[in-house]
Homo-oligomer: A and B are copies of this chain.
Amino acid sequence: MAAKKDTHKRDTYTPDSLLTVAVRVFNERGYDGTSMEHLSQAAGISKSSIYHHVRGKEELLRRAISRALDGLFSTLEEPGAREGRAIDRLEYVTRRTTEVLMSELPYVTLLLRVRGNTATERWAMARRREFDQRVAELLKQASADGDLRPDVDVRLATRLLFGMINSLVEWYRPARAGRDGNAASDEVADAVVRTAFAGLRT
């Protein structure tokens, strides 16, 4: 109990620890509905102190969204997303995307809610469309392989699948130790995959 990393509560902020606070407030009030004054109160330091750690409000948004995008795109590089039949790769990506949504919940929530009012937000939307496109290609391939029900419209199915997955940010809350208010993370991923693929697979 001597060194600097030993203290239980942080006595000064780093850009990252400040980000944790900011992202929570952004999600509670919406990005545009959050002022620097709101952030300073939540962090327990003055407005001007925040500017010592980050260049401004938009940098906090950019950092948060980057983290979300990194998590999502990295799943596409995993073996399960790159090897095997398209339908199986799609199921793998569906499961992993669901898991990333839950593990990086506040960051992905922010990503899914941007409206495109600033350059940062428009960049986020473009990157997100890229990701959606990659998954849509898997669905298209699975359809060509004959592994999707013939009455399924691929374009529509892609959107309903993402709709179901992305809706997690509206209700999923991580389980706290001891008290389990919510389904466990792997149960949720199972349910999403099962529900979605019941309507898709041949």
Contacts and interface: CB of A to CB of B under 8 A. Distances in A.
Interface string A1-39: 000000000000000000000000000111011000000
Interface stretch (A47-55, A67-75, A89-97, A151-159): A151-159
Contact of A163 (B164, B198, B199): B164
A191 B28 contact: no
A22 to B, nearest CB: 16
Contacts of A195: 157, 160, 196, 199-200
A18 B144 CA distance: 48
Interface string A159-197: 110111111101100000000000100011001101110
Q: How would you classify the secondary structure of chain A's contact residues: helix, strand, loop or mixed?
A: helix
Contacts of A166: 163, 167, 170
Copies of this chain, tallied across the complex: 2
Contact of A117 (B33, B153, B188, B199): B33
A155 B180 CA distance: 14
Contacts of A30: 30, 32, 115, 117
Given A160-B192, A188-B156, A117 B29 contact: yes
A184 to B, nearest CB: 11
Contacts of A199: 194-196, 198-199
Nearest to A117: B33
A98 to B, nearest CB: 11
Interface of A: 28-30, 32-33, 113, 115, 117, 151, 153, 155-157, 159-160, 162-168, 170-171, 183, 187-188, 191-192, 194-196, 198-200
Given A29-B115, A162-B167, A199-B199, 16 more contacts: A28-B115, A29-B117, A30-B115, A32-B33, A113-B113, A153-B183, A156-B183, A156-B187, A156-B191, A157-B191, A160-B164, A163-B164, A163-B166, A166-B167, A195-B199, A196-B199
